[in-house]
Structures are given as C-alpha cells and as structure tokens.
Amino acid sequence: MEKKNGLWSIFTRGIVKENPVLRLILGICPALAVTTSAMNGLGMGVATTLVLMGSTIAISLMRNAIPDRVRIPVFIVTIAGFTTVVQFLIQAFAPALNAALGIFLPLIAVNCVLFARAEMFAVKNKVFPTILDALGMGIGFTAALTMLGSIREFLGAGSLFDIPLTAHLIDPMLIMILPPGGFFIFGLLVALSNKLDKRPQSERSSGCAGCPSRVTCKNFETAKETAAEEVKA
Amino acid sequence: MENLKQQWKSILGTTAFLLAVCAVVTLAVAGTYVGTADRIAEQERIMLAASMGRLIEADQYDVVLYDAMGAPKVYRATMDDGTVRGHLILTGGRGYGGTVYVMTGITDGVVVGVEIINAAGETPGLGLNIQDASFRAQFAGVDGSPELIRSGVAGHNQIQSLAGATVSVYAVVLAVRDALVVYAELS
Amino acid sequence: MQAIITILIAGLFTDNFVLSKFLGVCPFLGVSKRLDTAVGMGAAVAFVMVVATAITYPLHAWLLLPLGLGYLQTILFIIVIASTVQLIEIFLKRYIPPLYNALGVFLPLMTTNCAIMGVTILHFTTGLTYFEAMINAFAGGVGFLLAMVLFAGVRSRLEGNDIPKSLEGMPITLIAAAIMSMSFLGFVGLADGLFS
C-alpha cells in the first residue's frame, strides 16, 4: 500500500505541486515563446513530453552502466538524439505544428526540464517510477503551456484553439501575443500559483539540483533542501 | 605502475561507453531520418501545391525551370486541355532576419497574387504581418517593377508599407521584382 | 552595407534575443539580480555566441550539408557547444586568469542556454552567410548583455520596494521584464526610419 502511494505521488507531483514551469521555473524559454496560441502550447507540451519520456527511460535503463564522469555528456547526447527523432516525426506527421514551433523544436534539446529530471530522478531510479515521473512532469508542462497559450490567445486574438470567440466583437489586445504579453501573463500565473501554494517557502522545492545554472541562481538554497528530501524519500 | 594501468583502463572504459552511446544515438537518428525523409518531402510538396492552388487554379503544375542548386524555381500551371493559366515563380528577398521566400503567380505578364513561403526571420506581430491576405492583395495587378511607398494611397505598381515592417515589406517587393525579371526571361 | 546595419540593429534592439525572441530567458531571470553578475553573464554569452557560431557554421555548411547529414545538426551543435565551452574554460583558466575570474563561473551555464544553441541554428533557417552570421552572433550577444545590464538596474530598484506577498520573487521580475520588453518594441521604428 505504501509503495502504491509512493508511485502515485511520483506521478502527480509533476502535475501540480512541482509543476516544472510554474513552480520549479524550468523550461521557460519555450513556455514564453510558443504560447501565442493554445494549440501551439499544447503541441509544444506534447513534443517535449515525448522527448522527456524517451530520454529518461533510456537513461534509467543505462543508469548502472553510465560512468559518473561522463554523466552530463551522456545526458546531452541522449536528449539531443531523442529531440531530433521527435523533430522528424513531427515534420513528417504534423507539419503545421512544425511550422508553428519553428526553432523551438530543436531547442527542446537544451530544455532544463529534461536535464533536471535526468539528473534528479532517471539516473537514480528504476524504469517504471521514471516513466511515471516523466509522464507527470510532461503533463504538468503541457498543462502549464496550454493554459498560458489559451489565456494569451484569448486576450490577444479573441479566439481559443483557433475558434473565434470574441474576435469579431471586441478588438483583441495584440500585445498579449507579443513578447511583453508572454512575460506578463506568465508572471501573473506564477503569482497565482504562489498564492495557491499554502506551504511555507522553505518547504517548496525546486528542480535546481539538475540545472547547471544553480551556482548563480537565487533558488539554490531551496535546492539543497530538495536534495535532502529526495534522499529521505 | 599498476595505478597508471588502472587509470588508463578507466579512461578507455569511459570513452568507449561514451562512443557507444553516440553511435547508438546517431544510428537511431539516421534511421528515423531515412524512415521519414520521403514523407517530409511529400509534406513540402503538398504545402507548395496548396500555395500554388491558392494563387492560380489549374489541373497540373509542372516545373519548367530549376535554380542553380537544382531546386524548382518556376512552375507552369496548365489545364487538362492544354491551356496555360499562368506561371508560379519562387524567389527570395533580403528581409529583416534573413531571406523571405515568396511565390509569385503571374498570368499574361500581370501578377495575380503572392504567397509567403517562408519568413522565419521576421518579427511576429510586425514583419510577419506580410503574411496577411490584405497586405498581399496589394500585389494583384502589378505589371511592372513595384515601388514601395511609405505614405499616401498606393497607385498602380505601388505597394504601401506596413507600420513597423518596412524592411520585411521591402523584402517581398524585391522578391516580386525578381519574379517579374525571371518571367520576362521565360518568354 | 545596409544588410550589416540591419543585422546590428536587429540583434541589439529590435530582435533582441531575450526580450523579443525569448532565447536565454533562464539566465536572464536568474542572474540579473546584481550588476556584476549581469555583466559577467552577458559578456560570457556574447563571447560564447561568437565562438560557437565561428565553429558550428562551417561544420554545418561545409561538412554536414554537402554530405547529406543535415539531420545531425541538433546533436552535433550541442556537442560542439558543450565541448567549446569546456575548452574555453580550460583555456582561460590557464592563459588569461583575470578573464577567467570574471567569466569563468558562468561558462558551464552556457551549455543549456537556449540563446547559444538558438542563434547557431537560426543562422541557417534565415539563410545568412558566414560573415553575416558572425556579425549577427556578435550583435545578438551584445544585445543580450545590454538587456542584462538594463534589467539589473531595474531589479536593483525593485529591491527596496514593498511588493505584495504572492508577487515576490519571480512574478514581479517577470512583470518588470514585460515592461522592458514593451519598451524594446519601440525600437522597431528605428529600423524603419533608417531606411525610408
């Protein structure tokens, strides 16, 4: 029973409590750039989830064989490989999505979320929990991007998933689909999720340990607590 | 001595592992590429055909001219009974962040429309507005070298610029000028 | 010549990598709190961008593409960038210690920096020549540095203010970035005006 609870929480934490975009603040570049519409946000989320699952499963399978010294290069090559594979699949079967995501499709290879999950989870856990973790994080990422995209599309173009809603009634706020709008709506969403999180600041974890930026990042203090949490779990 | 040998062994082992991972990944990528290349090329053809259909309706589109690198440059649109409905010419103009690729449809020396094939380097919300139908409609009826004007009503062979997108608009104007030159050389 | 000026203005202002293209947002938000770290990070990014372009461009244009191996671009670029960064770090540490002390700690962050990877790929999707690509990398890098420095100034002013609890930290930083991004939108008129 305890084990089942543990696995379930591994799956769900990536969706809400440790949502990679809104709580761990990882993978923001694509989150801001491609969310000019709900469909784009959804598409990017799905593409990233595919790469996330593929690469973390591969790394988890190899975890006992990877020499510690070349850990990072192995992550890099694996993630880049899966990104390219997913890129081709999307080019072949969903060219409209490919055109919409543009350069951010190959940039999935440098998305912090992937490195963070590989470093913090995949390389230390068995395959099945890794699948759950990746799926949870992926769903969380996709949900956040779709939400961001929906809000920006609705305010900036008066439509949702390309279905015009208020487009012909009110002049939409163009700035919402331009870069300033991205920063702004994202800021408000993070503020909202901060407000809804009733846990004190010290208990909130971040995915920093897996991110190379941690040395100069202000969130690093909380990351040390995360590392302690993971060891206990 | 033993220590050095062990060190070498560990370095070799590490390198071998890394190389093995690289090899497997490269194979997987190459495999996917080979598996999807045809489909991707097909998608591009479909997209191009859709653009061509929007500019000049016809039953058949054949390539009549290739560019220096072997890619199609001019398509001829014909009906089943042989009548030529017009030509579709692919050209590019130097835009804001690189080349803007344009397809110009020309019938009897007059431009019937333009489609933006690729404007990846232009700014969303500003330069990218060259993709809007209302802007592109200005090119219909152009029969000589188009001229860019910043203000005032656009007359014959004149294109009015878009606010904040002069460089991108100029790229399209250059591309259409090029297309007209290519068309003149065809006849 | 006009092309060069357009590239310079685009990279520095109107198509600013972080405020318009959303490349390099992570270090932008994470490191811009203090002016000295902002300058260090910005300079490091500019430096690595130029070096990375110098190496990746020939590799892709004159090795991968002619051999029909263009699909290996993502993998090759990221490996090259990661190795380049490592080599730069070692080189600086050994031969130019003062520069290493200034930039060194930021170099490992370059590997997952989407600005570096982004700019090297963009050079090909927008069809630039080698020379134009180098100018673009330089302009983009300096533009990034500019944005970082300006933002550090903004954030240091935010420090002393009374901010609502939920907006503290990341949210207010993002909103400040939104306003800054808006101001950079105004530069679009600059490019237009120069070539009228």
User: Are B117 and B153 part of one and the same domain?
Assistant: yes
**Interatomic CA distance for residues C80 and C74, integer angstroms:** 10
CB B112 within 8 A of CB B55: yes
The residue of chain B with its CA nearest to that of A34 is: B124
Task: Domain of residue C93: give its range.
Answer: 18-185
Smallest CA–CA distance, residue A175 to chain C, in Å, is 9
User: Is the confidence at residue A212, as pLDDT, over 70?
Assistant: no
Which residue, A116, A109, A115, B34, is CA-closest to C77?
Answer: A109
* Vertex B59: Cα angle to B54 and B62 (nearest 5): 90
Give the predicted TM-score (pTM) of the model: 0.82
The residue of chain A with its CA nearest to that of C171 is: A187
Q: Give the tens place of pLDDT for each residue, A91-119.
A: 888 888 888 888 888 889 888 888 888 88
User: Are B95 and B47 part of one and the same domain?
Assistant: no
Q: Give the tens place of pLDDT for each residue, C72-113.
A: 888 889 888 888 888 888 888 888 888 788 777 777 777 778
User: Are B117 and B182 part of one and the same domain?
Assistant: yes
Task: Domain of residue B138: give its range.
Answer: 58-186
The residue of chain C with its CA nearest to that of A176 is: C178
**ipTM (interface predicted TM):** 0.84
For residue C194, the model assigns a pLDDT of 65
Strand partners, B94: B99
User: Are B23 and B70 part of one and the same domain?
Assistant: no
Which residue, B25, B77, B20, B21, is CA-closest to B52?
Answer: B77
Which chain C residues contact residue B123 at CB under 8 A?
14-15, 20, 188
User: Is the confidence at residue A13, as pLDDT, over 80?
Assistant: yes
Q: Do the chains contact at C30 and A103, CB–CB below 8 Å?
A: no
For residue A82, the model assigns a pLDDT of 93
Other CB atoms within a 10 A radius of the CB of residue C92 amount to 19
**Interatomic CA distance for residues A27 and A213, integer angstroms:** 12
Q: Average pLDDT, stretch A189-208?
A: 66
How many domains does chain B fold into?
Answer: 2
Structure tokens at C35: 């002016």
Q: Which chains neighbour B (Cβ–Cβ under 8 Å, 3 or more pairs)?
A: A, C
> What pLDDT band is residue A5 in, cutting at 50, 70 and 90?
low
Which chain A residues contact residue C177 at CB under 8 A?
183, 187
Q: Do the chains contact at C75 and A182, CB–CB below 8 Å?
A: no
Which chain B residues contact residue C126 at CB under 8 A?
97-99, 120-121
> What pLDDT band is residue A233 in, cutting at 50, 70 and 90?
very low
Task: Say yes or no: A219 contacts chain C, CB-CB below 8 A.
Answer: yes
Q: Average pLDDT, stretch A118-138?
A: 89
User: Are B50 and B70 part of one and the same domain?
Assistant: no
DSSP-based three-state secondary structure for B183: helix
Angle between helices A127-157 and A179-196 (to 10 degrees): 120
Cα distances from C108 to residues A20, A72, A108, A194, C111, in angstroms, run 22, 11, 18, 30, 6
Give every residue of chain B whose pLDDT is below 50, as ranges.
Answer: none
Q: Give the tens place of pLDDT for each residue, A41-81.
A: 999 999 999 999 999 999 999 888 888 878 888 888 999 99
* Vertex A122: Cα angle to C24 and A9 (nearest 5): 100
Q: Average pLDDT, stretch C58-65?
A: 89
Q: Which of the 8 DSSP states describes residue B70?
A: S
The residue of chain B with its CA nearest to that of A95 is: B43
Q: Do the chains contact at C15 and B166, CB–CB below 8 Å?
A: no
**For residue B147, what is the enclosing H or E element?**
strand B147-149
Q: Do the chains contact at A191 and C171, CB–CB below 8 Å?
A: yes
Q: Shortest CB distance from C15 goes to which of B33, B97, B164?
A: B97
| Chain pair A-C, CB pairs under 8 angstroms | 148
* Vertex C113: Cα angle to A38 and C147 (nearest 5): 85
Smallest CA–CA distance, residue B137 to chain C, in Å, is 22
Between B101 and A207, the more confident residue is B101
> What pLDDT band is residue C192 in, cutting at 50, 70 and 90?
low
Task: Say yes or no: A175 contacts chain C, CB-CB below 8 A.
Answer: yes
CA A111 from centroid of its chain's CA atoms: 8
For residue A138, the model assigns a pLDDT of 92
Q: Average pLDDT, stretch C110-136?
A: 86
For residue A51, the model assigns a pLDDT of 95
Task: Say yes or no: B39 contacts chain A, CB-CB below 8 A.
Answer: yes
Q: Shortest CB distance from A84 goes to which of B14, B29, B40?
A: B29
For residue B147, the model assigns a pLDDT of 87
Which chain C residues contact residue B29 at CB under 8 A?
71-72, 75
Place of tokens 């190959």: A106
Place of tokens 């799956």: A11
Between B167 and A128, the more confident residue is A128
For residue A210, the model assigns a pLDDT of 40
Smallest CA–CA distance, residue B143 to chain A, in Å, is 32
Smallest CA–CA distance, residue A40 to chain B, in Å, is 14
* Percentage of the residues of chain A whose pLDDT score is greater than 90: 26
User: Are B103 and B173 part of one and the same domain?
Assistant: yes
Q: Shortest CB distance from C75 goes to which of B25, B94, B121?
A: B25
Q: Do the chains contact at B150 and C196, CB–CB below 8 Å?
A: yes
Side chain identity at residue B118, one-letter code: N
C146 lies in some domain: yes
> What pLDDT band is residue A222 in, cutting at 50, 70 and 90?
very low
Q: Which chains neighbour C (Cβ–Cβ under 8 Å, 3 or more pairs)?
A: A, B
Which A-chain residues 33-92 have CB contacts (< 8 A) with chain C?
A: 33, 72-73, 76-77, 80-81, 83-84, 87-88
How many domains does chain C fold into?
Answer: 1
Among A29, A48, A86, the residue to mutate for chain C (most C Cβ within 10 A): A29
Structure tokens at A232: 């206990």
Maximum average pLDDT range among A9-13, A48-52, A114-118, A224-228: A48-52
Smallest CA–CA distance, residue A88 to chain B, in Å, is 7
* Percentage of the residues of chain C whose pLDDT score is greater than 90: 21
C97 lies in some domain: yes
The residue of chain A with its CA nearest to that of C126 is: A103
**Interatomic CA distance for residues A113 and A207, integer angstroms:** 8
Task: Say yes or no: A209 contacts chain C, CB-CB below 8 A.
Answer: no
Other CB atoms within a 10 A radius of the CB of residue A210 amount to 25
Place of tokens 């206990």: A232
Backbone φ and ψ for A83, nearest 5 degrees, come out as -60, -45
User: Are B46 and B78 part of one and the same domain?
Assistant: no
Q: Shortest CB distance from B164 goes to which of C71, C189, C195?
A: C189
**Interatomic CA distance for residues B123 and C10, integer angstroms:** 10
Q: Which of the 8 DSSP states describes residue C96?
A: -
Task: Compute, in degrees rounded to 10, the torsion defined by CA atoms B145, B102, B123, C146.
Answer: -80
Q: Which chains neighbour A (Cβ–Cβ under 8 Å, 3 or more pairs)?
A: B, C
**Interatomic CA distance for residues C131 and C128, integer angstroms:** 8
What b/e string do you get for A125-142 counting C-beta neighbours within 10 Å, with b at 16 or more? beeebbbbbbbbbbbbbb
Task: Say yes or no: A65 contacts chain B, CB-CB below 8 A.
Answer: yes
Q: Do the chains contact at A179 and C106, CB–CB below 8 Å?
A: no
Q: Do the chains contact at A85 and B32, CB–CB below 8 Å?
A: yes
Q: Give the tens place of pLDDT for each residue, A150-194.
A: 999 888 888 888 788 877 788 778 788 888 888 999 999 988 888
For residue A46, the model assigns a pLDDT of 94
